Structure 1
C-alpha cells in the first residue's frame, strides 16, 4: 500500500490518491528512507497538481511536520525544490520551520537554489529570516550568483523592501569594512567578504524595483528617489574631466546635507577611509623624528581581539557617529589620538601594514561610486578622491605594484586616472602585465570546459579551405561574440578533425591570408618583413569589411593566446595601442622621406629658401592632390620655429590620416574582443610579442622543454638522432616541424615552456611507435605530441620526417 500511495503522490494523481487514502488507516506510511507520501509530494510534480496533491494528503491527516531519517520535513523538501505554492500551503496550515539533523534549514536550501519566490514566502511567515539572508552574504560557501538572484527578486516587491535590502547590505558592508581597517582581523577573509557584499549591493542597486505602478522613476532622471539615501554622491565639477553632473541627468544623486547622526553606514566607511589616507599623507610629509608613532598603536591592536570581535583602530571623535547604527559598528578615526607618542618606526612601516587593507576599501568605494553612473562613465566623486589622495596612492603602488593588479581596477576604466599611474604600470615586468591582462580580459566570463569543442553544433565555425578568408569572414560575422570569447571550434569543410590543433592552423592560415596581395589590405614595408595598411585598399570594394574582420581575427587570437604568423610595422602596432606616431615611423614605408624629415629637424632652415608650406602633395583616390596639413596650411610657411609641428603633421598625414578609415575598421573588429583600456598596458614591441611570439626557434630551449612517453627516454638513440636532425635542418623546416606537431608556426613569449595544449600548458611530447617500413611520423596537435616510429637509423628517420613535414603539415583527421 505504501508503494501505491507514494507513486500516486509523486505523479500527482490526486483523484486516485483521494480515493485510496479513504481506505488506509495511516496516510503517513514510510518508505526505507523514512519518507511519507507528503514528503515526496512536496518535492515533485507541477505546481498546480503538486499543490492539490499536498492539500489532499493534509486533509487526510498527513503529519505536516514529520521528519524523515535525516530530519527533513515536508517544508524542507518544498524549499529544496523551489516549490513556492507548496511552501505557502504548508506554512498557512501550521508547518514549523525546522532544520535537518545537519542543521541545514529550509532557507539555506532556497538560497542555494536561487529560489527567490520561495524565500519571499518564508519571510512572510518568519520575518526574522530577512536578516538571516542579509548575513548569508558573508558566507563564502554560498554561490554569489544565487544570493544575487534571491535578493534581486526580493528587491522587486516594493520600494520599501528595496531600500531595506540596500540599507541592510550597506550596514553589513560597513561592519566588514571597519573590521578590514583593523589589524586585528584576518586580511584575506575580511577583504573577500567586503568585496563580495559590495558586489551584491551594487547588483541590487542597479536593478531597482521594476513595478511601473510604484510611481518612482528608478532611471537616471529625477531627484526624489530614496535611493540616494543609501549612499550619496556629491555634485562635483571635476577639474580633470570638467563633468557637469546636472548635464549627466544625475541630480537624484546630488549632495545631501545630512547630519552625523543621520549619515548612512557606507558614508561612515568612506569617511574613515578618507581620514586614513589624509593621516598617511601627513605622516609622509613629516620629518621622521617628529612623526607620530602610528605603528606602535596599530601593533598594540593586534592583541585586543580576544573575544573574536574586530575592534576598529581608533575611537570616533564627536557624538553620534556610530551608536545609532543597527549594526553597532564604530567608525575608524585614525586622527583621534590622545596625544603624540614617541616614534619607533618609519612611516613606511605603516604603509606596508595598511596599504592592502586600505586598497581593498578603495576598490569597494570605486565599485559603489561606479554603480551609480551610466555605463562607461567614471564617477566624478571617485576622480576627485583619486586626485585628492594621489601621492598616497602612488606611494602604495610604488611599494607594492601588485596592488594595481589586485585592487586598482579603476585605472583600466578611466583614461584620466590611468595616465597618472602609467609610468608605474609600464615599469612592471612584462610577465606580470601579461598575467594581469588575461586575468581582467577573462574576468566575468563563465568557466568553460569547451576546449574548443562546444556542445552546440551551431557554434562550430565551418569554413572552406579553398575560400578560407571569405568563408571565415562570413561565419565570424554571424557568430555570437560572447561565445567566441569563451571558446572557438573550427572544422574545415569535408574534414573530420576538430580541436585545438585545427584552431591553431586556422589562425595560421588566416594570418597569411590577411596580407595576401589579392585583397589589397596591407602592403609590405620597406624592410620586406612587416606590413602596413594599404592606403589604396579602396580598390577592393569590401576592404573596410575585411579590415574589420582582420581586427576580429587578431583580437580573437590574442583573447585565446593563439599566435598569428604576421608582423606589422611599428606604427601600426602604435595605432592599435593608441600611441601617437612620430617621424621615425615613416622610415618603415619611405626611408628616404624619413631622412628628409630628419634633416629638416637637424638643420636651420631659415635661409635655405625651401618655401615649404603646411600642405603636401599626396595620392587621393589615384590622383595627386595638394592636401593641407591644417586649416589654411597652403598659405602658412614652414619656419625654424614651427618646423617641428610641420614634421609631426606630415608624419600624421602619411602614417595616420591616409589610412584612418582602414585603422578605424580594424580597431572596430579588434575591440570586439580586446578592450582598448587593457591593451594599453603594453608598448608596440610587447604587442608584437603577444601577437606573433618569438621570431626565432631556440632548439636548446625546445630540447629542454620536451617530454618523452610510451617507452622513449632522452638518452635513447632514436631521440638523439631526432635532435641532431632538428639542429641540422633549415629554419623553415623547423617551423614546419613545430606546426606539424602543435598546429602553430610560432613559439609563444617565454619559450617552449609556455606552449598551450587543448587544456592549458602542454609541453612538446615525443611518443614511441613500433617501426614498420615506410611508416611516417604522425602527430596529435591537441596535446602537442609527435608520434615518432623507432627508426633503425638516423638517415631513415630524417627521410621519413621530411616527407611527413612537406606532405602532411596541412589537413587533419580523427586519427
Structure 2
C-alpha cells in the first residue's frame, strides 16, 4: 500500500512540475464542464498544439455544449477564425452541423464573421449550407447581410436553393438589397435568385432596396427586369422612397417607369406623406436637368390649379382642399426657388443661370407675342416657345378665376348698396354653381373622379341662378366665399413672393390688393382671423398692412394678444417658460452686485434661439433657480436700464416715464447698451414677463414705427408743447415772429443752430407752412436727436419681436404688454386668490390679511406682490392671468403653523404666500411688513 501511494505521489509531483514549467495544465480535468473552460481560451487564440496535447489522452467530448447558448468548441473556433483548432476538432470528431440554442451551426458563425478559411474547412467536412437557424437564416443569409461577396461565390456552389427563406419569407437577395451590397446582389442574381420573390408581407427585393434608399441596388434590380410591385398593404417602392426622402432612388424608379412621375406629383395631395420628405425628393429630381425642372413645375402648377378650382367649388370640402392647395403651392415655390443644379439662387429675379426665366412660370398667357432675351448671347427667343407645355397657364387660369370672383363680388356689393333689394342675385348665382359642380363630376368632397383633371373652373359668369334659398338660410356671399377665396389669395401671394428677393413684395400682388381693396376689407371686417389664417402678406408688407390697420386695431385687445403670441411662437418647440438647461453653459449666471454689466455679457454670449426656447437664471452665490428668479432678474434689470449712472434714458417731465437720452454718447458704449436694453425688453415680451419700467408715449411709438406728433413733445417739455399748439391755433402772419426752419440746440453746454430741413436757416415760418414747421420740430426733438439710440434699441428688440407683429398694437397697448397695470386692484386680487393647507376665505387669518392689504400703501402692495410672485406688476386682464412656472397660476395663500416671531415666506414659482396662523391682525400686519421690507429680494428653492 505504501509503495502504491508513493507511486501516485510521484506521478502527481511529475505532473505538477511539468505544469509549472509550461505555465498551464498539462492534463485536462476529467469532467467536461471544467475541461471546456480550460480549452476555450486556447481555442480562441488558435493554440492548436496545446489543444492537441491536452486532447491526446483525454476522454473529453469534443461536441460538449456549454454555456447559456449551448455552443461547442467548434462554434468558438469558427466564430474566432481559429482555423487550426477548427481542423483539429473536426479530426477529433466534432460535428460541423451541431446547432446551438439559437439554431446556429459553426458554418453560420464563420459566415457571419467572414471567416473564409474556416468556412472552407467546414465544407470539406460536410457542413450543411442549407441548415436554418431558429429565425430561418442560413449561411448565405449571413453572407448577404454583411456583403461577403467573395465568400458567397464559394458557398453558392454548395447551396441547393439560393432562395431559401427565413421565418419572414426573406431570401438572401432581400437582405442584400436592404443593406445595399451591390456585388452581393449581382452574385445572387447570377446564381439564380428570384428577383421578384415576395416575402410574407409581399415585399420584393426592389421594395427592400427602396425602403432604405439603396439607389445603386435598385438600379441593378431594375436593369435585370425587377417588377414594380406593392406589398400586401398596397405600399409601393415609390411610397417608401418618398417617406424616406430618397430623391436619388426615386429618380431611378422614374427612369425605368415613366408613369411614376405623375404618381409622385399626385402625392403632393396626400396629407399622410411628410411634406419635407416629398420636397426633398422633388428638389433632387428637379435639379438634375432643365427638362426635369420644367416638367415638375408644370405638373405642380396643373395640380395646384385643379385643387384651386375645386376649392372655389362651394360643394367641395373646404378644409381638405385648402390644405391641399397650400401644401402644393409651398412645394411648388420651394422647387421654383432652387431651380436645376443651383440650390443657392433663391433670390434670383431673372434668369436661373442658363435656365428658363422664372417669371415665365406665372405670367404668360396663350397667344402673347412677348419676347425676352435668352441668356445665351446673341439669341432671342419667344416666351411662348419656351412654355408650350403650360408652365404658367394652369396657375394663370386659377388667378384669372380668382380675379373674376372678386370682381363679381365687388359688383354685387355695389348693387346691393345702390339697391338693397338686389342682394339675392349673387346668392342665387352661387347656388347655381353647386349644380355646375355636380354636372362637372365634383363629389361632396370635391375630389371629382380622381383622375387629376378635376372639375371645370367654377367661373362666376356661368353660375347665375339659384341661391335665393341660400340667403333664406342666412348665407350671404361673404360667409359662403370668404375663406375659400382667401385661401386662393394666400396661394397667389406665395407664388408671387417666390419670384422676389427676400423681404420684397411683388408689385403684381400689391396691384392685385389695391384693385380688390374693397372686397378684401369686407372679408377682414367680417372675419378678422383671415388676417392670420390667410392674409400673412399684411404682416409681411407694411404698405399693404396700412390699408387694413384700422380694421385690425378695431379687434379686441385680447384677441390681438392671442394672435401675436400664436405667430410669435410659431415654429418654436413646446417648452416651459423657464428653460431647464442640459448643462451649466445654458444658465445665465448673474452677479447681483453688477447686474447690468454681467447680464449684458452673458446675454451677448448666449444663443438667441436658446433664449427663445427658455431662460434659466441663477445669481452668483445663491442656490435659487426657477420662474421666480427669472422674474426677479427682469424686474431688477429693468430698473438698472434706466439707472442715471448709465446715461441711457432720461426722465420725462412727469417724473415717471423715460425716453432715450440725446446725450447718452457721454457713455462710450451707449449704443451697445441700447441694443442690450432692446434685447431685454424684447425677451421679456417674448416670454410674457413684465418689466418695471414705463416709457414716454413717443418712445412706444418709435418701437411701433408710428410717427410722433407735436402732442408727444409734452412728455419732455410741456411748455414748449403749449407754444407749438399756440402756433397752430393762431394766425401768425402779422406777428413778426421771424422764425426760420431751424432751432438752437444745447450740445454739451454749447448752443448750436440745427436746420430742420435743407436750407432751413433761411426759410421763414409762415401761416402756410407752420404745420410743416411744427412737425419737423417735433421730429427733431423726439426722433432725430435720438435716432442712433432708437436704431440700436430696435435692433436688439427686433431680435426677438418682429416689427410686423408688434404693429398689431398701439402705444397704449404696448405699455400694457410690457409693464402690466400700474395700479393694483385689491378687490380683483382677492377674487382671484386660492387657499390651501386648511385656509379658506372665512378663516379669521384670511379676513385679517385682506384688511391689512387694503390698508397698505400702493408701494407696499407692490412689495407684497413682488415678494410672492417675483414681479411687481399685474398682467393685462388682472390677477386672473397671473403666470406661474408652468403657465397660469393664481395667487395662493397656504396655512403654516404659527411660532413666535415667524415671518411669512413665499414660493415664487407657484405664486404662493405661506402665511402663519397669526393670533391677531396686529401681529399679522407687523410680521408681514417686516418680511416685505427685509425680504423682497433673494429667493431660495421653491
Give the TM-score taking structure 1 as reference length. Answer: 0.85
The 8 Å contact of residues 184 and 303 in structure 1, kept in 2 or not, is answered as: no
Closer/same/farther in 2, CA of residues 796 and 576 from structure 1, 3 Å limit: same
Match of 2:409 among 280, 301, 314: 280
Distance (Å, rounded) in 2 between the aligned partners of 1:526 and 1:660: 20
| Structure 1 residue 589: Cα displacement | 1.1
Equivalent in the alignment of 2:339: 208
Distance (Å, rounded) in 1 between the aligned partners of 2:468 and 2:660: 66
Equivalent in the alignment of 2:6: none
Equivalent in the alignment of 1:503: 630
Segment drifting more, 371-380 vs 186-195 = 186-195
| Structure 1 residue 537: Cα displacement | 0.6
Match of 1:479 among 606, 621, 629: 606
Pair 1:149-2:275 in alignment? no
* Partner-residue secondary structure (3-state), 2:460: coil
Distance (Å, rounded) in 1 between the aligned partners of 2:657 and 2:515: 46
Per-residue Cα deviation, 1:30-61 (whole angstroms, up to 9, x for no partner) = 666665665555556xx6xx545655666666
Match of 1:226 among 356, 360, 379: 356
Pair 1:749-2:881 in alignment? no
Equivalent in the alignment of 2:322: 191
Distance (Å, rounded) in 2 between the aligned partners of 1:718 and 1:13: 82
Equivalent in the alignment of 1:319: none
The 8 Å contact of residues 9 and 53 in structure 1, kept in 2 or not, is answered as: yes
The 8 Å contact of residues 272 and 331 in structure 1, kept in 2 or not, is answered as: yes
Per-residue Cα deviation, 1:748-801 (whole angstroms, up to 9, x for no partner) = 212223233444434344556677777665554444445556667666665665
Closer/same/farther in 2, CA of residues 191 and 326 from structure 1, 3 Å limit: closer
Per-residue Cα deviation, 1:214-241 (whole angstroms, up to 9, x for no partner) = xx99933349743547632479xxxxxx
Pair 1:441-2:568 in alignment? yes
Closer/same/farther in 2, CA of residues 357 and 786 from structure 1, 3 Å limit: same
| Structure 1 residue 684: Cα displacement | 0.8
| Structure 1 residue 293: Cα displacement | 2.4
* Partner-residue secondary structure (3-state), 1:565: coil
Distance (Å, rounded) in 1 between the aligned partners of 2:440 and 2:578: 46
Equivalent in the alignment of 2:425: 293
Match of 2:490 among 357, 363, 366: 363
Equivalent in the alignment of 1:417: 544
Equivalent in the alignment of 1:318: none
Matches within 5 A, 1:635-654: 635-654=762-781
The 8 Å contact of residues 413 and 677 in structure 1, kept in 2 or not, is answered as: yes
Equivalent in the alignment of 2:20: none
| Structure 1 residue 510: Cα displacement | 1.8
Equivalent in the alignment of 1:241: none
Closer/same/farther in 2, CA of residues 110 and 509 from structure 1, 3 Å limit: farther
Per-residue Cα deviation, 1:134-158 (whole angstroms, up to 9, x for no partner) = 2222222322222222222222221
The 8 Å contact of residues 293 and 345 in structure 1, kept in 2 or not, is answered as: no
Distance (Å, rounded) in 1 between the aligned partners of 2:902 and 2:196: 74
Distance (Å, rounded) in 2 between the aligned partners of 1:313 and 1:19: 60
* Partner-residue secondary structure (3-state), 2:340: coil
Structure with higher Rg: it is 2
Matches within 5 A, 1:128-527: 128-210=259-341, 219-222=348-351, 225-226=355-356, 228=358, 231-233=361-363, 264-286=393-415, 287-289=419-421, 293-302=425-434, 309-310=441-442, 327=453, 329-336=455-462, 345=471, 349-447=476-574, 451-455=578-582, 458-527=585-654
| Structure 1 residue 163: Cα displacement | 1.5
Q: How many residues align?
A: 785
The 8 Å contact of residues 462 and 475 in structure 1, kept in 2 or not, is answered as: yes
Closer/same/farther in 2, CA of residues 342 and 543 from structure 1, 3 Å limit: closer
* Partner-residue secondary structure (3-state), 1:335: helix
* Partner-residue secondary structure (3-state), 1:619: strand
Matches within 5 A, 1:99-110: 99-110=230-241
| Structure 1 residue 518: Cα displacement | 0.9
Provide the alpha-carbon RMSD of the alignment. Answer: 4.0
Give the TM-score taking structure 2 as reference length. Answer: 0.75
Matches within 5 A, 1:762-777: 762-766=889-893
| Structure 1 residue 698: Cα displacement | 2.5
| Structure 1 residue 533: Cα displacement | 0.7
Equivalent in the alignment of 2:786: 659
| Structure 1 residue 333: Cα displacement | 1.5
Equivalent in the alignment of 2:257: 126
Segment drifting more, 360-369 vs 131-140 = 131-140
Closer/same/farther in 2, CA of residues 56 and 495 from structure 1, 3 Å limit: farther
Match of 1:600 among 727, 736, 758: 727
* Partner-residue secondary structure (3-state), 2:399: helix
* Partner-residue secondary structure (3-state), 2:752: strand
* Partner-residue secondary structure (3-state), 1:627: strand
Segment drifting more, 264-273 vs 26-35 = 26-35
| Structure 1 residue 436: Cα displacement | 2.2
Closer/same/farther in 2, CA of residues 495 and 754 from structure 1, 3 Å limit: same
Match of 2:799 among 669, 672, 681: 672
* Partner-residue secondary structure (3-state), 2:751: strand
Distance (Å, rounded) in 1 between the aligned partners of 2:469 and 2:173: 71
| Structure 1 residue 275: Cα displacement | 0.7
The 8 Å contact of residues 617 and 629 in structure 2, kept in 1 or not, is answered as: yes
| Structure 1 residue 368: Cα displacement | 0.6
The 8 Å contact of residues 497 and 814 in structure 1, kept in 2 or not, is answered as: yes
Distance (Å, rounded) in 2 between the aligned partners of 1:438 and 1:335: 42
Distance (Å, rounded) in 2 between the aligned partners of 1:258 and 1:289: 51
Matches within 5 A, 1:529-608: 529-608=656-735
| Structure 1 residue 26: Cα displacement | 6.0
* Partner-residue secondary structure (3-state), 1:626: strand
The 8 Å contact of residues 691 and 819 in structure 2, kept in 1 or not, is answered as: yes
Distance (Å, rounded) in 2 between the aligned partners of 1:772 and 1:24: 89
| Structure 1 residue 637: Cα displacement | 2.9
The 8 Å contact of residues 289 and 343 in structure 1, kept in 2 or not, is answered as: no
Equivalent in the alignment of 2:752: 625
Q: Which runs of 5+ in 2 are unaligned?
A: 1-103, 105-132, 366-371, 374-379
Larger RCO: Structure 1 or Structure 2 (Cα < 8 Å, ≥ 6 residues apart)?
1
| Structure 1 residue 204: Cα displacement | 1.3
Q: Which runs of 5+ in 1 are unaligned?
A: 236-244, 247-251, 315-324
Per-residue Cα deviation, 1:704-734 (whole angstroms, up to 9, x for no partner) = 3344556665555655555455444443343
Closer/same/farther in 2, CA of residues 672 and 345 from structure 1, 3 Å limit: same
